[in-house]
Amino acid sequence: MKPKNQRLVLALLALVAIIGAGFLALAGLRDNAALFRTPAELAANPVEPGRDIRLGGMVAANSIREASDGVTIDFIVEEGEARVPVRFTGIAPDLFRESSGVVAEGAFDRRGTFIAHTILAKHDENYMPPQMADMETRDERLQRTLER
């Protein structure tokens, strides 16, 4: 390398590193970004099994079933007519209840059951996953319409 060009070479190296990182990031995002889907969206546009998504909706009334091992639960996430069966093994958050909002992270298995590895429920009155905040406003809108 000619010493005269050292500054140029360093600048080019930096550019290559940044562009390389950009490509790596985009490739990673294509494979790994988890989409947020509601049951109605899934009914219209199913997601292939094994792909990580976040499923958001309401826990259907009377749908939570405890398995005999005591740590697995099955429940239905619904939105209007659309329903998705979910299985979760682990400790559900304290505020995970029937007829309230939930976001589950995981993927569908081959039989169409959503296997969740994480469940997010409303944490306290100030905290909720951003997507759920939107669902909440949708509910409130619905409620207002009903009251009127």
- For 63-70, the CB contacts below 8 A with 24+ separation are 63/98, 64/98
Tell me the C-alpha distance between 3 and 85, whole Å.
Answer: 66
* Encoded tokens for 146: 């009903």
* Exposed e or buried b per residue across 60-71, where buried means at least 16 C-beta atoms within 10 angstroms of its C-beta: beebbeeeeeee
* Encoded tokens for 69: 């091992």
Least CB distance to other proteins at residue 148 (A): 27
Q: How many residues bind other proteins (CB under 8 A)?
A: 47
Nearer to other proteins, 62 or 89 (CB): 89
Tell me the C-alpha distance between 132 and 40, whole Å.
Answer: 15
34 lies in the binding site for other proteins (CB under 8 A): yes
Nearer to other proteins, 14 or 61 (CB): 14
From 17-25, 43-51, 74-82, 137-145, give the range in contact with other proteins by CB under 8 A: 17-25
Of 46, 50, 80, 90, the residue at the interface with other proteins (CB under 8 A) is: 90
| Residues near other proteins (CB under 8 A) | 1, 3, 6-7, 10, 13-14, 17-18, 20-22, 24-29, 31-36, 52, 54, 66, 69-71, 89-92, 94-95, 105, 123-131, 133
